[in-house]
Chains A and B, each alone.
Chain A
């Protein structure tokens, strides 16, 4: 399923920043005193929060914890395995 260029770009940006946060999370688990990593993590967290807020406001919720209107938007398609990420295929 296609979701429109802008929504897809924003979703990919969120995927990218979330991935950096996962990497930093794993790194910090074994390096809990690394302040450089913690500063970077804190920077990315702010960016990530802003991007996710924008996505949830403009397009669709990312978690079930969100203020909904009627009807319940969480069930809306597409679900992640249905999206065409436009990388050169489906």
Chain B
């Protein structure tokens, strides 16, 4: 089994990039050159009609889009 990437406490990604970026450490089970999306675990669901109107029954996956203004209105 290939070993995960292990970080030195004093030499972590967050310290090596511009301060407005947050790059928290991912533990040794996460490998370089691989992408990871966090796994969802469902807690509650919207009731069916509300879910249909929102586009999902899972509140944690609800990401509404706020329309940007038309140029004309600015």
A and B touch in their complex, CB below 8 angstroms = yes
| Alpha-carbon distance A30/B58, docked complex (angstroms) | 15
The winner among B40, B41, B51, B57 for most chain A CB atoms within 10 A is B57
Q: Contact between A37 and B42 (Cβ–Cβ < 8 Å)?
A: yes
- CB of A13 closer than 8 Å to a CB of B: yes
Contact among A15, A30, A34, A37 for B52, CB-based, below 8 A: A15
By a CB distance below 8 angstroms, the chain B residues around A27 are 40, 42, 58
Q: How far is the CB of B70 from chain A (nearest CB, A)?
A: 21
Number of interface residues of A (CB under 8 A): 17
Q: How far is the CB of A16 from chain B (nearest CB, A)?
A: 4
- CB of A84 closer than 8 Å to a CB of B: no
Q: Mark B31-66, 1 if CB is under 8 A from A, else 0.
A: 000000001111001001101100011100000000
Count, A-B residue pairs, CB within 8 A: 36
Query: Chain A's interface: helix, strand, loop or mixed, by majority?
Result: helix
Q: How far is the CB of B65 from chain A (nearest CB, A)?
A: 19
By a CB distance below 8 angstroms, the chain A residues around B52 are 15-16, 19-20
8 Å CB contacts to A: which residues of B1-52? Answer: 39-42, 45, 48-49, 51-52
Interface residues, chain A, CB within 8 Å of chain B? 12-13, 15-17, 19-20, 23-24, 27, 30-31, 34, 36-37, 40, 44
**5 new A-B contacts at CB < 8 Å, known A31-B40, A31-B41:** A19-B52, A19-B57, A23-B56, A24-B57, A37-B42
